[in-house]
Chain A
C-alpha cells in the first residue's frame, strides 16, 4: 500500500468506485481507494439497482438525468456487462393528492428535459400487462429510466480505475486521521498511514462515523431497509415499478428474478441488517396485490441494507468544515446512491481536479443548506 498519495477515497461502494474512476479518467492517477471489506460489501451490494429521473426536487432530477446518460454508455465505456435493463420506471398514483403531485413533478421534470409523461390506467396496462391497476388513478412513466446490477457496476468502475492507475486497497479500514492545522495530513488505517492532499468520505451509511473521527457532525445516519428476491422467470415486466401509496418498489432483473422492497416508517436509525419475518409477509402481500400472477412464485432470499440518510433525503457533496478544508464528502444519498453514482464521480473529480464542479452546480447539495431556514425535502423516496 502506498504511504503517500494525492487522493484517498474512503469506501469501496458505488460512490467511491465512481469517484476513483472519474479521477483516474481525468488524469489524476495517484488515487488510493480504501475499503474496509470487499467491493460493494456495504450498502451498494444490497441495493435494488434502480436509476430514475423522476424526482420532486429539480436538483435531483438533473443529477439523475446526467447519471442515466452515463449508465446508458456504461457497458461500452467500461467493457463490462452490468445487467442493464432499459425498461424505464413506472410510478403509480392511487389518490388525488398523489395524482396532483405526479402531474406537478412531471411538468417540472419535462422542463428539466426528461422524457417522462403521465399515463392513464389503460396505458399502464400496456406498459406492464401483469400489473393490477385496480384503484390506480394514473401513472408517471419514463422509458429512459433503467435498472442494473450494482455489484457489476462497481466492479466496472473499480477495474477501469485500476487500469488507469488508481490503487484499490481492500480489507483496509480507516481508523482515524492525522491533522495538520486545518488540513487532513494523512488517513490512518489498520494497514498503516497514507499521507494525502485530499481525503474523500464515501463511506455510505458509515459516513457519520468517518466524520466523527475528525470531530465533524455530518448529520447523516444509517437506516435499515429490507429487500427480497424471487426465483427467476421469463421477462414479464420491463419497468421498475414504484408505488408510494402501497410503499413498494419492484423490478425484474436481467437474470429474470424479481427484486422488491419497501420503506418501513417505523424503522429507527441503526446498523442492524438482519431480515425480519414480518417483512417477507408484508412485502409478499403488497407484491401479489400489485402482481397477482406472482402468487405461486417463491421468494428465495431476503436481506437488508442500510440507507445513508441525510436530514432532507438528498446527498451532501463537497467540503463540510473549515477545520478540514481538504476533507470532502459524497454522502447522505438516502437510498439513491447507486443511481447518482455516475454523476457524483464526475462532480467530485471536477471538484478535486478543477477546483469546482463544472458539469452541474452542487451548491444546493452543500452541507451549509442545513444551516439556513429553507429546506426542500425530497419526497419521492421509498
Chain B
C-alpha cells in the first residue's frame, strides 16, 4: 500500500498544474497517468496556444507539456506515468495497473483530472478501419509519426476538427472537406481561416451519411441536413477518402468519479455528466477534487488554472499543516479565480459560464460588456503595416505581449480585439510568428510602384525560395494571380513559424492571404458508392459487442426497454472492455428520440471497476504480496 497525501489522477495540463501547486506548498504528491508520456493532450498539440502569458499563450502545446512536467518535477511531485487507475474503492483505496503490477494507494486527497473522451458518430460502415477519432489521428501523426491515411474527410468544425485538419495538411495529407452538422463553425474563425485559405471547403449543415470500402475506408458520402438535422435526399456528395476523422465533441471522463460515489449532474453545456463541485473544485465527497475537462469540456488554459485551484485547496485541507499560509492562499485563490474568469469571458466562454451556473445552482456570472470592434478595423494602412484579421472575442493576447514597439493593444481584458497603432508599427513582423491563429499579416503597399508585398505566417515545409513564382490565393483558397516570392524567413526566434512574402499587384493587396507552390490541385475525383452499403439501421452502435442500431431500436420497441441499463441487460451493449464509452451517448440519443424525452433524463450504466481490463495473473500476484 502506497501512502501519499495527495494523489493526482491524470497528467495532462490540469493534473500537472494541480500536482505542482500542491507540492509547491509542501504537500506530498503522487501523480499517475495511464499514458507512457506525460502531458495529456498537450503532447499532440503542435499549434500555439491561446490565452495569456500566464497560461503560456503563444507557446506550442508540446512545449507547454515540457514546461509543466518540469514544474511538477521541480516542485517535488512523484510522477508515475504508464499507471492506469482502475478504481476508487469504498475504503478510500485507489488501485492502479502499472508495469504488470496491481498497486494500491491510500491518499488523503484525490484530484481527478482524467480529461475527456471522444464522442462517436454511428453511420453505415462507421466500424470500418480508417474511421478514427480526432485524438487517435493526432496521436498517430504527432506522437508516433504515422500518417493515418492519404486523404481525409474531417467531421466536425469545432476547434479540434479545424486544428487537426490543419495538422493533417501540415503532414502532407489531403483534407477533402470539413463537414459540420450545425449551421456555423464552432471553432475559432482564425483556425477555420488557416485551412480555408488552403482551399479546404468547410461544409456547414452537412454530415457524413455513410462510408464504404472492402478492408478499410475507400469513400464516404456527405449529405446536407435540414433544420431538424434530417438528411436532405438528393444533396449527397461522394468523396474518395481513405480516412474519416471524427471530431464531434468530447465527453468528460468521469468513470472514477461515478465509481467513487460522487454526486453527478448532467450538464449539456459542460459536455455530459460531471461531478458536482464547489467553486474550489471540491466534489460532493470532501476528499475528492476535480479539474480540467473531467469537470466540463473547456480549453487547456482553463484546465491549468482549475488544476492550480484544486491543488491549492487540496493542500490547504490536508490534516498536516503544510507551509501554505492563509495569506498566500488568499492571494493565490483570488489570482486564479481572476484568471479563470478572464479566460471565460466573451462568446466562447458563454457555454462554460452557463454550465458552471447550472452545476452550482447559482445564476451564471454576468459577463461584463466587451469592447466592440472598431469601425476602422479593416482600414488599410499606408506603407508597411501589420494587418490584424482576428475578428472574434477570443481570450488571447500574445500579439500584444510580443510586439517590441507596443503597437498592438489588447488591454487588460484579454477577450478584446487586438488593435494596431499604425504610428508605432514598424512592420517587423515578429507578431506574425506568435499569433496562435496565424491571423496577422504584413502588407507593404510601397513595395514597388506596381506591387504590394504580402507577408504571411507559414508553417509548412519546404519553404519556397526567393524568386519562385507561385499561385497567390485568397482567403477561401481560390487562385487570384501569380505572385513572386520575395522573402522566406525562418529563425529559431520564430519558433517554427516562418514568414513568407509574396509580391502581387496592388489591387490584390487585400485579397491575397496564402499561396501554393505546387500548382492547381487535382479536381475532386468522381466516385460512386457501391450498391451493397448497409442501411442506417445496420450501423454499429456498440463496437465492443457488435450491436446495431436495429437491435437497440427493437429492444426499445419490442422489449419495452426505457433505459441504458435495460438495453445493456438485453443486448450486452456497454459490457465490453470500453464499458460503454463509445456507445452510451449514442444509446441515450436513440432512447431520447424514440421515447420523446430529454436526454438529461437518462442515466448512464453503472461504471464498474476495474475501469481498464487487468490480467487475472497480475491480480493474483498482488494477492500473494498482500498476504506477505
Contact = CB atoms under 8 A, between A and B. Distances in A.
Contact of A159 (B559, B565, B579, B623): B559
Contact of A299 (B563, B572, B610): B610
B615 A298 contact: yes
B569 A40 contact: yes
Given A155-B559, A159-B559, A281 B617 contact: no
A299 B616 contact: yes
B569 A298 contact: no
B615 A277 contact: no
Given A40-B569, A299-B614, A302-B608, A274 B90 contact: yes
A12 B587 CA distance: 24
Nearest to B613: A298
Contacts of B261: 274
B246 to A, nearest CB: 25
A255 B572 contact: yes
A275 B609 contact: yes
Contact of A300 (B90, B566, B576): B576
B624 interface: yes
A213 B87 CA distance: 37
A268 interface: no
B104 interface: yes
A288 interface: yes
B610 A41 contact: no
Nearest to B558: A159
Interface in A314-354: none
A302 B609 contact: yes
Given A285-B620, A298-B613, A303-B606, 13 more contacts: A229-B575, A231-B613, A275-B89, A276-B90, A281-B102, A284-B617, A284-B620, A296-B616, A298-B615, A301-B579, A301-B609, A302-B609, A302-B610
B616 A298 contact: yes
Contacts of B622: 281, 284
A284 B616 CA distance: 5
Contacts of A382: none
B501 interface: no
Interface of B: 87, 89-91, 93, 95, 102, 104, 261, 559, 562-563, 565-566, 569-570, 572, 575-577, 579, 606, 608-610, 613-620, 622-624, 626
A171 to B, nearest CB: 9
Contact of A45 (B90, B93, B569, B626): B569
Contacts of A231: 577, 613
B89 A38 contact: no
B616 A288 contact: yes
A303 B570 CA distance: 18
Contact of A276 (B89, B576, B606): B89
Given A284-B620, A288-B620, A297 B615 contact: yes
Given A301-B575, A303-B608, A277 B87 contact: yes
18 contacts: A38-B563, A40-B569, A41-B565, A229-B575, A275-B608, A280-B609, A280-B610, A280-B614, A288-B620, A295-B617, A297-B616, A298-B614, A299-B615, A299-B616, A300-B575, A301-B575, A301-B608, A302-B610
Interface in A244-258: 255
Contacts of A285: 619-620, 623-624
A255 to B, nearest CB: 7
Q: What are the nearest 10 A-B pairs in CB distance?
A: A295-B617, A298-B613, A284-B619, A281-B623, A151-B569, A285-B623, A285-B620, A284-B620, A284-B616, A301-B608
A276 B261 CA distance: 14
B543 to A, nearest CB: 14
Q: Which of A45, A276, A287, A299 has the most CB of B within 10 A?
A: A299
Nearest to B572: A255
A367 interface: no
Contacts of B87: 275, 277
Nearest to A38: B566
Interface of A: 38-41, 45, 151-152, 155, 159, 170, 229-231, 255, 272, 274-278, 280-282, 284-285, 287-289, 294-303
Main secondary structure of the interface of A (DSSP, over half): mixed
B89 to A, nearest CB: 5
A297 B559 CA distance: 34
A152 B617 contact: no
B613 A300 contact: yes
Contacts of A298: 577, 613-616
Given A295-B617, A303-B608, A39 B566 contact: yes
Q: Which of B104, B620, B623 has the most CB of A within 10 A?
A: B620
Contacts of B104: 277
A285 B620 CA distance: 4
Given A274-B90, A295-B620, A299-B610, A38 B565 contact: yes
B619 A281 contact: yes
Contacts of B562: 38, 170
Nearest to B626: A281
Given A38-B565, A39-B566, A45-B569, A277 B95 contact: yes
Contact of B619 (A159, A276, A280, A300): A280
Nearest to B94: A277
A294 B90 CA distance: 28
A158 B572 CA distance: 19
A378 B592 CA distance: 48
Contacts of B93: 277
A151 B620 CA distance: 30
Nearest to A152: B570
Contacts of A296: 615-617
Q: Which of A229, A230, A282 has the most CB of B within 10 A?
A: A282
A296 B618 CA distance: 8
A296 B615 CA distance: 5
Given A41-B565, A151-B569, A277-B89, A287 B616 contact: yes
Nearest to A273: B606
Contacts of A303: 606, 608
Q: Which of B570, B606, B624 has the most CB of A within 10 A?
A: B570
Q: Which of A38, A284, A303 has the most CB of B within 10 A?
A: A284
A282 B624 CA distance: 9
Contacts of B615: 295-299
Contacts of A289: 620
A75 to B, nearest CB: 16
B239 to A, nearest CB: 36
Contact of B616 (A38, A39, A170, A230): A230
A155 B616 contact: no
A159 B91 CA distance: 41
Contacts of A300: 575-577, 579, 610, 613
A282 B102 CA distance: 13
A273 to B, nearest CB: 10
Nearest to A287: B616
A159 B566 CA distance: 14
B608 A284 contact: no
A38 B619 CA distance: 33
A288 B610 contact: no
A280 B618 CA distance: 10
Contacts of A272: 90
B575 A299 contact: no
Contacts of A294: 616-617
Q: Which of B563, B614, B617, B618 has the most CB of A within 10 A?
A: B617
B563 A295 contact: no
A220 B110 CA distance: 39
Contacts of B563: 38
A280 B622 CA distance: 10
Given A38-B563, A275-B609, A281-B102, A295 B569 contact: no
